[in-house]
Amino acid sequence: MEGARAGLKVTVVELNTVPGGHAVISSGGVSIVGSPLQQQMKVVDTPEIAERDFLRWGEDANKEWVRYYTRNSKTEIYDWMTALGTQFVSVSLNGAGNSVARFHSPNQQGIGLVIPVYREILRQGGVTFLFGHRVTGLVVRDGHVVGVKMTSLREGKQSTLEGNAVLISTGGFGADLDLVRASWPKSMRVPERMLAGGGFFANGAGMKLAREAGGASEWLDHQWNYASGLPDPFDPKGERGFFGMAFSAIWVNAQGKRFVLEQHEPKVTIPAIAAQNPARFWAVFDADGRRSFRIVHAGFTQDRTEEVLNYPGFLAKGDSAEELAKSAGLPAGALRETIDNYNAMLEAGVDKDFQRFGPNVQRPAFLPPPAKILKPPFYAAPMYILIRKSMGGIRVDAACRVLNAEGKPVPGLFASGEATGFGGLNGKNGMEGTFLGPAILMGRVAAKTVAADARAKPSAPPAVTLRTAPPAANPKLAETCTGCHDLPKLVKAKRDGYWHFEHSHKLVLARKLNCTGCHAEQAPFRAESHRIDRHLQTAVCQHCHTSPPFLGRRAAPAE
Protein backbone atom coordinates (compact mmCIF):
# COMPACT_ATOMS: atom_id res chain seq x y z
CA MET A 1 0.00 0.00 0.00
CA GLU A 2 2.79 2.42 0.88
CA GLY A 3 4.54 1.60 -2.40
CA ALA A 4 1.43 2.06 -4.51
CA ARG A 5 0.69 5.39 -2.84
CA ALA A 6 4.21 6.50 -3.72
CA GLY A 7 3.61 5.71 -7.40
CA LEU A 8 5.10 2.22 -7.64
CA LYS A 9 3.42 -0.64 -9.48
CA VAL A 10 3.39 -3.45 -6.91
CA THR A 11 2.84 -7.19 -7.29
CA VAL A 12 2.48 -9.28 -4.12
CA VAL A 13 3.50 -12.91 -4.57
CA GLU A 14 1.87 -14.78 -1.68
CA LEU A 15 2.28 -18.45 -0.82
CA ASN A 16 -1.06 -18.58 0.96
CA THR A 17 -4.35 -17.97 -0.85
CA VAL A 18 -5.34 -15.10 1.47
CA PRO A 19 -3.43 -12.14 2.88
CA GLY A 20 -2.50 -11.66 6.51
CA GLY A 21 0.44 -13.90 7.35
CA HIS A 22 1.13 -14.70 11.00
CA ALA A 23 -0.84 -11.63 12.12
CA VAL A 24 -4.26 -13.20 11.59
CA ILE A 25 -3.79 -15.74 14.41
CA SER A 26 -2.43 -13.16 16.84
CA SER A 27 -4.10 -10.92 19.40
CA GLY A 28 -3.02 -7.97 17.25
CA GLY A 29 -1.30 -6.10 20.08
CA VAL A 30 1.14 -3.38 19.03
CA SER A 31 3.73 -1.50 21.08
CA ILE A 32 3.23 2.25 20.58
CA VAL A 33 4.92 5.12 22.37
CA GLY A 34 3.12 8.37 23.22
CA SER A 35 -0.29 7.59 21.74
CA PRO A 36 -3.52 9.55 22.36
CA LEU A 37 -4.90 6.43 24.05
CA GLN A 38 -2.02 6.50 26.55
CA GLN A 39 -2.68 10.17 27.20
CA GLN A 40 -6.37 9.46 27.83
CA MET A 41 -5.35 6.83 30.38
CA LYS A 42 -2.81 9.24 31.91
CA VAL A 43 0.09 6.93 31.03
CA VAL A 44 3.34 8.87 30.82
CA ASP A 45 5.48 7.37 28.06
CA THR A 46 8.25 8.97 26.03
CA PRO A 47 10.75 7.78 23.41
CA GLU A 48 13.47 8.03 26.05
CA ILE A 49 11.57 5.79 28.51
CA ALA A 50 10.76 3.28 25.79
CA GLU A 51 14.31 3.24 24.43
CA ARG A 52 15.62 2.47 27.92
CA ASP A 53 13.14 -0.41 28.23
CA PHE A 54 14.05 -1.87 24.83
CA LEU A 55 17.79 -1.78 25.42
CA ARG A 56 17.65 -3.07 28.99
CA TRP A 57 15.29 -5.96 28.23
CA GLY A 58 16.75 -6.91 24.84
CA GLU A 59 20.35 -6.78 26.12
CA ASP A 60 21.88 -6.52 22.63
CA ALA A 61 19.08 -4.83 20.66
CA ASN A 62 19.92 -2.89 17.48
CA LYS A 63 20.12 0.67 18.81
CA GLU A 64 19.47 2.29 15.44
CA TRP A 65 16.18 0.47 14.92
CA VAL A 66 15.19 0.96 18.58
CA ARG A 67 15.73 4.70 18.31
CA TYR A 68 13.75 4.95 15.07
CA TYR A 69 10.89 2.81 16.38
CA THR A 70 10.46 4.54 19.72
CA ARG A 71 10.39 7.94 18.03
CA ASN A 72 8.11 7.07 15.12
CA SER A 73 5.68 4.37 16.30
CA LYS A 74 3.01 6.95 17.13
CA THR A 75 2.97 8.60 13.70
CA GLU A 76 3.92 5.66 11.46
CA ILE A 77 1.78 3.03 13.17
CA TYR A 78 -0.91 4.54 15.43
CA ASP A 79 -1.83 7.55 13.28
CA TRP A 80 -1.45 5.67 10.00
CA MET A 81 -3.48 2.62 11.07
CA THR A 82 -6.16 4.74 12.75
CA ALA A 83 -6.62 6.72 9.53
CA LEU A 84 -7.22 3.41 7.73
CA GLY A 85 -9.95 2.43 10.16
CA THR A 86 -8.15 0.39 12.82
CA GLN A 87 -9.64 0.99 16.25
CA PHE A 88 -7.25 0.65 19.18
CA VAL A 89 -9.55 -0.08 22.10
CA SER A 90 -7.22 -0.52 25.07
CA VAL A 91 -3.68 -0.05 26.25
CA SER A 92 -2.22 -2.38 28.87
CA LEU A 93 0.88 -3.24 30.83
CA ASN A 94 1.94 -6.80 30.01
CA GLY A 95 5.35 -6.95 31.59
CA ALA A 96 8.05 -8.42 29.36
CA GLY A 97 10.31 -5.45 29.94
CA ASN A 98 7.74 -2.68 29.61
CA SER A 99 7.91 -0.23 32.50
CA VAL A 100 4.67 1.49 31.44
CA ALA A 101 1.52 0.44 29.59
CA ARG A 102 2.14 0.60 25.82
CA PHE A 103 0.54 -2.63 24.51
CA HIS A 104 -2.25 -1.34 22.24
CA SER A 105 -4.98 -3.84 21.41
CA PRO A 106 -7.09 -3.33 18.27
CA ASN A 107 -10.72 -4.21 17.85
CA GLN A 108 -11.07 -7.69 16.24
CA GLN A 109 -7.55 -8.77 17.25
CA GLY A 110 -5.05 -9.52 14.44
CA ILE A 111 -7.47 -8.97 11.57
CA GLY A 112 -8.20 -5.56 13.07
CA LEU A 113 -4.79 -4.64 11.64
CA VAL A 114 -4.81 -6.73 8.46
CA ILE A 115 -8.28 -6.00 7.07
CA PRO A 116 -8.08 -2.15 7.09
CA VAL A 117 -4.82 -2.30 5.11
CA TYR A 118 -6.15 -4.89 2.66
CA ARG A 119 -9.39 -2.95 2.14
CA GLU A 120 -7.50 0.23 1.37
CA ILE A 121 -5.33 -1.63 -1.13
CA LEU A 122 -8.43 -2.91 -2.89
CA ARG A 123 -9.91 0.59 -2.87
CA GLN A 124 -6.90 2.53 -4.10
CA GLY A 125 -5.58 0.00 -6.63
CA GLY A 126 -2.00 -0.15 -7.87
CA VAL A 127 -1.39 -3.57 -6.28
CA THR A 128 -1.79 -7.00 -7.88
CA PHE A 129 -2.00 -10.09 -5.68
CA LEU A 130 -0.74 -13.43 -6.94
CA PHE A 131 -2.06 -15.77 -4.26
CA GLY A 132 -1.06 -19.43 -4.09
CA HIS A 133 2.35 -18.85 -5.68
CA ARG A 134 5.70 -20.06 -4.38
CA VAL A 135 8.81 -18.05 -5.17
CA THR A 136 11.52 -20.55 -6.12
CA GLY A 137 14.42 -18.21 -6.90
CA LEU A 138 15.59 -14.69 -7.63
CA VAL A 139 16.39 -13.24 -11.03
CA VAL A 140 19.80 -11.54 -10.84
CA ARG A 141 21.23 -9.60 -13.80
CA ASP A 142 24.65 -7.93 -13.67
CA GLY A 143 24.65 -8.23 -9.88
CA HIS A 144 21.25 -6.52 -9.57
CA VAL A 145 18.14 -8.35 -8.33
CA VAL A 146 15.47 -7.71 -10.96
CA GLY A 147 12.77 -10.30 -10.29
CA VAL A 148 11.63 -13.67 -9.04
CA LYS A 149 10.98 -17.13 -10.39
CA MET A 150 7.72 -18.61 -9.16
CA THR A 151 5.38 -21.58 -9.41
CA SER A 152 1.59 -21.57 -9.19
CA LEU A 153 0.68 -24.12 -6.52
CA ARG A 154 -2.70 -24.95 -8.03
CA GLU A 155 -1.60 -25.20 -11.67
CA GLY A 156 2.07 -26.13 -11.32
CA LYS A 157 2.86 -23.46 -13.91
CA GLN A 158 6.31 -21.87 -13.69
CA SER A 159 6.87 -18.22 -14.61
CA THR A 160 9.12 -15.22 -14.05
CA LEU A 161 8.19 -11.77 -12.77
CA GLU A 162 10.58 -8.83 -13.22
CA GLY A 163 10.73 -5.30 -11.83
CA ASN A 164 13.06 -2.66 -10.38
CA ALA A 165 13.23 -4.20 -6.93
CA VAL A 166 12.28 -7.24 -4.84
CA LEU A 167 11.09 -6.91 -1.23
CA ILE A 168 11.23 -10.10 0.86
CA SER A 169 8.55 -10.17 3.59
CA THR A 170 8.14 -13.92 4.00
CA GLY A 171 8.01 -14.14 7.79
CA GLY A 172 10.40 -15.96 10.10
CA PHE A 173 11.75 -19.50 10.23
CA GLY A 174 9.83 -20.95 13.20
CA ALA A 175 8.01 -23.55 11.09
CA ASP A 176 11.36 -25.11 10.07
CA LEU A 177 12.15 -26.96 13.29
CA ASP A 178 15.43 -28.30 11.91
CA LEU A 179 16.66 -24.75 11.36
CA VAL A 180 15.38 -23.75 14.80
CA ARG A 181 17.39 -26.58 16.38
CA ALA A 182 20.50 -25.74 14.36
CA SER A 183 20.23 -22.11 15.52
CA TRP A 184 19.27 -22.84 19.13
CA PRO A 185 20.95 -20.55 21.72
CA LYS A 186 24.18 -22.10 22.90
CA SER A 187 23.36 -21.17 26.49
CA MET A 188 20.58 -23.81 26.55
CA ARG A 189 20.45 -27.49 25.71
CA VAL A 190 18.35 -28.32 22.67
CA PRO A 191 14.98 -29.81 23.70
CA GLU A 192 14.25 -33.35 22.54
CA ARG A 193 10.91 -32.14 21.18
CA MET A 194 9.59 -28.68 20.41
CA LEU A 195 6.44 -27.45 18.68
CA ALA A 196 5.93 -24.99 15.83
CA GLY A 197 3.31 -22.44 16.89
CA GLY A 198 3.74 -19.44 14.62
CA GLY A 199 2.93 -18.84 10.97
CA PHE A 200 2.35 -22.00 8.93
CA PHE A 201 4.46 -20.58 6.09
CA ALA A 202 7.25 -19.14 8.26
CA ASN A 203 9.82 -21.63 6.97
CA GLY A 204 12.84 -19.39 6.41
CA ALA A 205 12.34 -19.31 2.64
CA GLY A 206 13.17 -15.62 2.52
CA MET A 207 16.63 -16.14 4.01
CA LYS A 208 17.39 -18.82 1.43
CA LEU A 209 16.33 -16.50 -1.38
CA ALA A 210 18.44 -13.63 -0.05
CA ARG A 211 21.44 -15.95 0.24
CA GLU A 212 21.23 -16.67 -3.52
CA ALA A 213 22.01 -13.02 -4.21
CA GLY A 214 24.71 -12.78 -1.56
CA GLY A 215 22.56 -11.55 1.29
CA ALA A 216 23.71 -12.39 4.83
CA SER A 217 21.76 -13.60 7.86
CA GLU A 218 22.36 -12.81 11.51
CA TRP A 219 21.09 -13.35 15.07
CA LEU A 220 19.41 -16.67 14.22
CA ASP A 221 19.83 -17.79 17.83
CA HIS A 222 17.59 -14.88 18.90
CA GLN A 223 14.22 -16.59 19.12
CA TRP A 224 11.20 -15.51 21.15
CA ASN A 225 9.33 -18.64 22.14
CA TYR A 226 6.51 -19.50 24.52
CA ALA A 227 6.79 -21.88 27.44
CA SER A 228 3.38 -23.57 27.40
CA GLY A 229 3.09 -25.23 24.01
CA LEU A 230 0.18 -27.66 23.78
CA PRO A 231 0.55 -30.28 20.99
CA ASP A 232 -2.02 -30.15 18.20
CA PRO A 233 -3.46 -33.67 18.35
CA PHE A 234 -4.84 -33.30 14.82
CA ASP A 235 -1.43 -32.63 13.25
CA PRO A 236 -0.34 -35.91 11.59
CA LYS A 237 3.34 -34.96 11.82
CA GLY A 238 3.16 -34.06 15.52
CA GLU A 239 5.09 -30.83 14.90
CA ARG A 240 2.45 -28.13 15.40
CA GLY A 241 1.22 -26.77 18.71
CA PHE A 242 -0.98 -24.16 20.36
CA PHE A 243 -0.26 -21.55 23.01
CA GLY A 244 -2.07 -23.09 25.98
CA MET A 245 -2.83 -21.20 29.18
CA ALA A 246 -3.70 -23.30 32.23
CA PHE A 247 -4.11 -20.38 34.60
CA SER A 248 -4.67 -22.44 37.76
CA ALA A 249 -2.12 -25.16 37.04
CA ILE A 250 1.20 -26.00 38.58
CA TRP A 251 4.01 -27.10 36.25
CA VAL A 252 5.75 -30.37 37.08
CA ASN A 253 8.67 -32.04 35.33
CA ALA A 254 9.11 -35.73 34.55
CA GLN A 255 10.14 -36.27 38.15
CA GLY A 256 6.78 -34.91 39.36
CA LYS A 257 8.32 -31.74 40.87
CA ARG A 258 7.67 -28.04 40.37
CA PHE A 259 10.73 -26.38 38.87
CA VAL A 260 9.92 -22.72 38.04
CA LEU A 261 7.51 -19.89 38.81
CA GLU A 262 4.71 -20.73 36.40
CA GLN A 263 3.78 -17.12 35.61
CA HIS A 264 7.29 -15.87 34.98
CA GLU A 265 8.41 -14.35 31.67
CA PRO A 266 9.65 -16.69 28.86
CA LYS A 267 13.04 -15.11 29.45
CA VAL A 268 13.09 -17.16 32.67
CA THR A 269 10.78 -20.12 32.00
CA ILE A 270 12.22 -21.21 28.63
CA PRO A 271 15.76 -21.84 29.99
CA ALA A 272 14.23 -23.59 33.02
CA ILE A 273 12.24 -25.97 30.79
CA ALA A 274 15.24 -26.61 28.55
CA ALA A 275 17.23 -27.61 31.63
CA GLN A 276 14.76 -30.38 32.58
CA ASN A 277 15.33 -34.00 31.60
CA PRO A 278 13.46 -34.35 29.31
CA ALA A 279 12.89 -30.70 28.34
CA ARG A 280 9.11 -30.59 28.77
CA PHE A 281 6.54 -30.51 31.59
CA TRP A 282 2.96 -31.26 32.59
CA ALA A 283 0.45 -28.58 33.56
CA VAL A 284 -1.47 -30.13 36.48
CA PHE A 285 -4.92 -28.82 37.47
CA ASP A 286 -8.25 -30.03 38.84
CA ALA A 287 -11.86 -29.93 37.63
CA ASP A 288 -12.23 -26.25 38.51
CA GLY A 289 -8.92 -25.43 36.84
CA ARG A 290 -10.03 -27.03 33.59
CA ARG A 291 -12.83 -24.50 33.22
CA SER A 292 -10.29 -21.67 32.94
CA PHE A 293 -8.03 -23.47 30.44
CA ARG A 294 -7.60 -21.45 27.24
CA ILE A 295 -5.90 -21.81 23.89
CA VAL A 296 -4.70 -18.31 23.08
CA HIS A 297 -5.01 -17.95 19.32
CA ALA A 298 -7.30 -15.47 17.59
CA GLY A 299 -10.51 -17.25 16.68
CA PHE A 300 -10.00 -20.11 19.12
CA THR A 301 -13.40 -20.24 20.74
CA GLN A 302 -14.17 -22.51 23.67
CA ASP A 303 -15.72 -25.19 21.45
CA ARG A 304 -12.44 -25.50 19.57
CA THR A 305 -10.50 -25.68 22.83
CA GLU A 306 -12.75 -28.48 24.06
CA GLU A 307 -12.26 -30.32 20.78
CA VAL A 308 -8.51 -30.40 21.50
CA LEU A 309 -8.80 -31.28 25.19
CA ASN A 310 -11.35 -34.03 24.50
CA TYR A 311 -9.19 -35.74 21.89
CA PRO A 312 -8.90 -39.40 23.01
CA GLY A 313 -5.92 -39.92 25.30
CA PHE A 314 -4.74 -36.31 25.01
CA LEU A 315 -5.16 -35.17 28.62
CA ALA A 316 -3.90 -37.41 31.39
CA LYS A 317 -6.72 -37.87 33.90
CA GLY A 318 -7.36 -39.45 37.29
CA ASP A 319 -9.64 -39.28 40.30
CA SER A 320 -6.63 -39.07 42.61
CA ALA A 321 -3.06 -37.87 42.39
CA GLU A 322 -1.94 -41.49 42.14
CA GLU A 323 -4.30 -42.27 39.25
CA LEU A 324 -3.23 -39.08 37.47
CA ALA A 325 0.44 -39.99 37.90
CA LYS A 326 -0.17 -43.42 36.37
CA SER A 327 -2.02 -41.88 33.41
CA ALA A 328 0.73 -39.30 32.80
CA GLY A 329 3.66 -41.64 33.44
CA LEU A 330 4.85 -39.65 36.45
CA PRO A 331 6.15 -40.94 39.81
CA ALA A 332 3.06 -41.21 42.03
CA GLY A 333 4.74 -40.41 45.34
CA ALA A 334 6.48 -37.31 44.02
CA LEU A 335 3.37 -35.95 42.34
CA ARG A 336 1.26 -36.50 45.47
CA GLU A 337 3.89 -34.73 47.58
CA THR A 338 4.08 -31.81 45.12
CA ILE A 339 0.30 -31.27 45.05
CA ASP A 340 -0.02 -31.60 48.84
CA ASN A 341 2.86 -29.21 49.41
CA TYR A 342 1.37 -26.63 47.01
CA ASN A 343 -2.03 -26.84 48.70
CA ALA A 344 -0.41 -26.48 52.12
CA MET A 345 1.50 -23.37 51.02
CA LEU A 346 -1.76 -21.89 49.69
CA GLU A 347 -3.34 -22.58 53.09
CA ALA A 348 -0.45 -20.78 54.75
CA GLY A 349 -0.58 -17.96 52.19
CA VAL A 350 3.08 -18.10 51.09
CA ASP A 351 4.75 -19.95 48.19
CA LYS A 352 8.11 -20.68 49.77
CA ASP A 353 9.41 -22.45 46.66
CA PHE A 354 8.81 -19.96 43.80
CA GLN A 355 6.98 -16.93 45.28
CA ARG A 356 3.87 -17.36 43.16
CA PHE A 357 1.80 -15.91 45.99
CA GLY A 358 2.41 -14.29 49.36
CA PRO A 359 1.98 -11.03 51.25
CA ASN A 360 4.78 -9.34 49.29
CA VAL A 361 3.97 -10.81 45.87
CA GLN A 362 2.27 -8.55 43.32
CA ARG A 363 0.08 -10.81 41.21
CA PRO A 364 -0.64 -9.70 37.60
CA ALA A 365 -4.21 -8.42 37.45
CA PHE A 366 -5.12 -10.54 34.42
CA LEU A 367 -4.43 -13.79 36.30
CA PRO A 368 -7.08 -15.45 38.47
CA PRO A 369 -6.25 -15.94 42.15
CA PRO A 370 -4.26 -19.13 42.83
CA ALA A 371 -6.46 -22.01 43.96
CA LYS A 372 -5.87 -25.38 45.60
CA ILE A 373 -5.81 -28.48 43.46
CA LEU A 374 -8.48 -30.47 45.29
CA LYS A 375 -11.49 -31.24 43.13
CA PRO A 376 -11.42 -34.44 41.05
CA PRO A 377 -11.01 -35.38 38.33
CA PHE A 378 -7.41 -34.20 38.15
CA TYR A 379 -5.75 -33.43 34.81
CA ALA A 380 -2.27 -33.12 33.37
CA ALA A 381 -1.81 -31.38 30.00
CA PRO A 382 1.36 -32.20 28.02
CA MET A 383 3.45 -29.08 27.46
CA TYR A 384 6.52 -28.30 25.35
CA ILE A 385 8.44 -25.20 24.28
CA LEU A 386 6.44 -23.50 21.51
CA ILE A 387 8.46 -21.91 18.70
CA ARG A 388 6.76 -18.62 17.94
CA LYS A 389 8.80 -15.67 16.64
CA SER A 390 12.14 -15.19 14.92
CA MET A 391 14.22 -12.27 16.14
CA GLY A 392 17.04 -12.93 13.69
CA GLY A 393 17.03 -13.25 9.94
CA ILE A 394 18.12 -11.43 6.80
CA ARG A 395 20.64 -8.71 7.53
CA VAL A 396 19.35 -5.23 6.59
CA ASP A 397 20.29 -1.61 7.15
CA ALA A 398 18.04 1.11 8.54
CA ALA A 399 16.52 1.60 5.06
CA CYS A 400 15.64 -2.13 4.77
CA ARG A 401 18.29 -2.79 2.12
CA VAL A 402 19.58 -6.38 2.27
CA LEU A 403 23.26 -6.44 3.19
CA ASN A 404 25.97 -8.94 2.27
CA ALA A 405 28.58 -10.34 4.64
CA GLU A 406 30.72 -7.21 4.17
CA GLY A 407 27.81 -4.98 5.14
CA LYS A 408 27.22 -3.64 1.63
CA PRO A 409 23.74 -3.46 0.04
CA VAL A 410 22.70 -6.10 -2.47
CA PRO A 411 21.40 -3.98 -5.38
CA GLY A 412 17.67 -4.30 -5.92
CA LEU A 413 16.98 -6.47 -2.86
CA PHE A 414 15.09 -5.37 0.23
CA ALA A 415 13.57 -7.14 3.25
CA SER A 416 11.29 -6.24 6.14
CA GLY A 417 9.42 -7.66 9.11
CA GLU A 418 10.07 -11.05 10.66
CA ALA A 419 12.10 -12.16 7.63
CA THR A 420 14.77 -9.80 9.01
CA GLY A 421 14.18 -10.65 12.65
CA PHE A 422 12.71 -7.13 12.80
CA GLY A 423 16.16 -5.70 12.19
CA GLY A 424 17.37 -6.90 15.58
CA LEU A 425 15.03 -4.42 17.28
CA ASN A 426 14.28 -6.84 20.14
CA GLY A 427 17.76 -8.16 20.77
CA LYS A 428 17.71 -11.44 22.71
CA ASN A 429 14.33 -10.89 24.39
CA GLY A 430 11.05 -9.74 22.90
CA MET A 431 8.80 -7.18 24.50
CA GLU A 432 5.03 -7.35 24.10
CA GLY A 433 3.75 -5.80 20.86
CA THR A 434 7.21 -5.49 19.33
CA PHE A 435 6.62 -7.89 16.45
CA LEU A 436 3.51 -6.70 14.60
CA GLY A 437 4.51 -3.09 15.26
CA PRO A 438 7.95 -3.35 13.66
CA ALA A 439 6.48 -5.37 10.77
CA ILE A 440 4.18 -2.46 9.92
CA LEU A 441 6.86 0.17 10.42
CA MET A 442 9.57 -1.69 8.46
CA GLY A 443 7.20 -2.34 5.55
CA ARG A 444 6.62 1.40 5.28
CA VAL A 445 10.33 2.17 5.51
CA ALA A 446 11.16 -0.39 2.80
CA ALA A 447 8.53 1.01 0.41
CA LYS A 448 9.74 4.58 0.90
CA THR A 449 13.31 3.47 0.15
CA VAL A 450 12.32 1.66 -3.06
CA ALA A 451 10.14 4.57 -4.20
CA ALA A 452 12.96 7.06 -3.60
CA ASP A 453 15.45 4.90 -5.49
CA ALA A 454 13.02 4.54 -8.42
CA ARG A 455 12.14 8.26 -8.35
CA ALA A 456 8.48 7.25 -8.32
CA LYS A 457 5.85 9.95 -8.64
CA PRO A 458 2.68 9.65 -6.56
CA SER A 459 -0.57 9.64 -8.45
CA ALA A 460 -4.11 10.19 -7.19
CA PRO A 461 -5.83 6.85 -6.51
CA PRO A 462 -9.08 6.14 -8.35
CA ALA A 463 -12.31 6.79 -6.51
CA VAL A 464 -13.38 3.20 -5.99
CA THR A 465 -16.33 2.44 -3.76
CA LEU A 466 -15.48 -0.50 -1.52
CA ARG A 467 -18.19 -3.09 -1.09
CA THR A 468 -18.24 -4.42 2.48
CA ALA A 469 -21.96 -5.01 3.08
CA PRO A 470 -23.05 -8.32 1.52
CA PRO A 471 -26.56 -8.69 0.10
CA ALA A 472 -29.36 -10.16 2.15
CA ALA A 473 -28.78 -13.79 3.11
CA ASN A 474 -30.40 -16.44 0.97
CA PRO A 475 -30.77 -19.67 2.99
CA LYS A 476 -31.23 -21.68 -0.20
CA LEU A 477 -27.66 -20.93 -1.27
CA ALA A 478 -26.29 -23.90 0.70
CA GLU A 479 -28.43 -26.29 -1.31
CA THR A 480 -27.00 -24.89 -4.53
CA CYS A 481 -23.41 -25.06 -3.23
CA THR A 482 -23.58 -28.61 -1.94
CA GLY A 483 -25.20 -29.71 -5.17
CA CYS A 484 -21.91 -29.01 -6.97
CA HIS A 485 -19.29 -29.13 -4.21
CA ASP A 486 -18.73 -32.24 -2.10
CA LEU A 487 -17.23 -30.28 0.80
CA PRO A 488 -16.21 -33.22 3.04
CA LYS A 489 -14.39 -34.82 0.11
CA LEU A 490 -12.71 -31.56 -0.95
CA VAL A 491 -11.48 -30.81 2.58
CA LYS A 492 -9.77 -34.20 2.75
CA ALA A 493 -8.22 -33.95 -0.72
CA LYS A 494 -4.95 -32.24 0.42
CA ARG A 495 -4.43 -30.26 -2.77
CA ASP A 496 -1.51 -27.86 -3.24
CA GLY A 497 -2.64 -24.26 -2.92
CA TYR A 498 -5.78 -25.03 -0.92
CA TRP A 499 -4.41 -24.78 2.62
CA HIS A 500 -6.72 -21.96 3.70
CA PHE A 501 -9.70 -23.58 1.99
CA GLU A 502 -9.12 -26.81 3.95
CA HIS A 503 -8.73 -25.12 7.35
CA SER A 504 -11.64 -22.70 6.99
CA HIS A 505 -14.04 -25.30 5.64
CA LYS A 506 -13.14 -27.79 8.36
CA LEU A 507 -14.69 -25.25 10.72
CA VAL A 508 -17.68 -24.85 8.41
CA LEU A 509 -18.32 -28.60 8.58
CA ALA A 510 -17.67 -28.84 12.33
CA ARG A 511 -20.02 -25.96 13.11
CA LYS A 512 -22.57 -26.92 10.43
CA LEU A 513 -22.53 -23.42 8.97
CA ASN A 514 -24.58 -22.30 6.02
CA CYS A 515 -22.65 -21.17 2.94
CA THR A 516 -24.60 -17.89 3.07
CA GLY A 517 -22.48 -16.78 6.03
CA CYS A 518 -19.46 -16.14 3.83
CA HIS A 519 -20.78 -16.22 0.25
CA ALA A 520 -24.07 -14.37 0.32
CA GLU A 521 -23.08 -12.37 -2.78
CA GLN A 522 -23.27 -15.53 -4.89
CA ALA A 523 -26.99 -16.01 -4.31
CA PRO A 524 -28.93 -16.53 -6.42
CA PHE A 525 -26.43 -18.63 -8.34
CA ARG A 526 -25.40 -17.38 -11.78
CA ALA A 527 -22.73 -19.33 -13.62
CA GLU A 528 -21.44 -16.26 -15.50
CA SER A 529 -20.72 -14.31 -12.28
CA HIS A 530 -19.82 -17.17 -9.98
CA ARG A 531 -16.62 -15.98 -8.30
CA ILE A 532 -15.61 -14.74 -4.87
CA ASP A 533 -15.89 -10.99 -4.32
CA ARG A 534 -12.64 -9.95 -2.60
CA HIS A 535 -14.21 -6.75 -1.26
CA LEU A 536 -17.03 -8.58 0.47
CA GLN A 537 -14.73 -11.30 1.76
CA THR A 538 -13.04 -8.76 4.03
CA ALA A 539 -16.28 -8.62 6.02
CA VAL A 540 -16.41 -12.35 6.87
CA CYS A 541 -12.91 -13.12 8.16
CA GLN A 542 -14.09 -12.51 11.73
CA HIS A 543 -16.10 -15.76 11.56
CA CYS A 544 -12.86 -17.68 12.12
CA HIS A 545 -10.31 -15.09 13.24
CA THR A 546 -11.87 -13.43 16.25
CA SER A 547 -12.94 -14.76 19.60
CA PRO A 548 -13.76 -13.35 23.02
CA PRO A 549 -10.56 -12.37 24.87
CA PHE A 550 -9.33 -15.23 27.07
CA LEU A 551 -9.16 -12.97 30.12
CA GLY A 552 -8.91 -9.26 30.68
CA ARG A 553 -5.32 -8.10 30.36
CA ARG A 554 -3.85 -5.79 32.93
CA ALA A 555 -5.39 -2.43 32.10
CA ALA A 556 -3.44 0.78 32.28
CA PRO A 557 -4.13 2.76 35.46
CA ALA A 558 -6.70 5.51 35.08
CA GLU A 559 -4.66 7.75 37.33
Percent of the chain predicted with pLDDT > 90: 76
pLDDT given at position 555: 39
Give just the sign of the alpha carbon dihedral 417, 231, 511, 493: positive
Assess contact for 432 and 103: CB atoms under 8 A: yes
> Domain spanning 2-218+391-453: which superfamily?
FAD/NAD(P)-binding domain (3.50.50.60)
- Range 225-386 classified under CATH 3.20.20.70: no
Q: What DSSP letter does each residue of 217-272 carry, written as one string?
A: EE-TT-EEEEEEEEE-TT-TTS-BEEEEE-TT-EEE-TTS-B-S-TTS-HHHHHHH
Using only C-alpha atoms, what is the Rg of the chain? 24
pLDDT the model gives residue 173 = 97
CA distance 220 to 428: 10
pLDDT tens digits, one per residue of 88-108: 999 988 778 899 999 999 998
Q: pLDDT tens digits for 139-180?
A: 999 999 999 999 999 999 999 999 999 999 999 999 999 999
- What would the pLDDT profile of 6-22 be if each residue is shown by its tens digit? 999 999 999 999 998 88
Q: How far apart are CA 274 and CA 189, in angstroms?
A: 6
Query: What letters, b where the CB count within 10 A reaches 16 and e where it falls short, cover 204-225?
Result: bbbbbbbeebbbbbbbbbbbbb
Which stretches within 454-519 are classed as H helix? 477-484, 487-491, 499-511, 516-519
Mean pLDDT over all residues of the chain?
A: 92
How high is the pLDDT of residue 549? 52
Cα dihedral 284→290→294→295 (10° resolution): 70
Alpha-carbon distance values, 469 to 427, 478, 542 (Å): 44, 20, 14
pLDDT attached to residue 550 = 45
pTM of this prediction exceeds 0.85: yes
Instruction: Provide the residue ranges of all domains of the chain, joining segments of one domain with +.
Output: 2-218+391-453, 225-386, 477-545
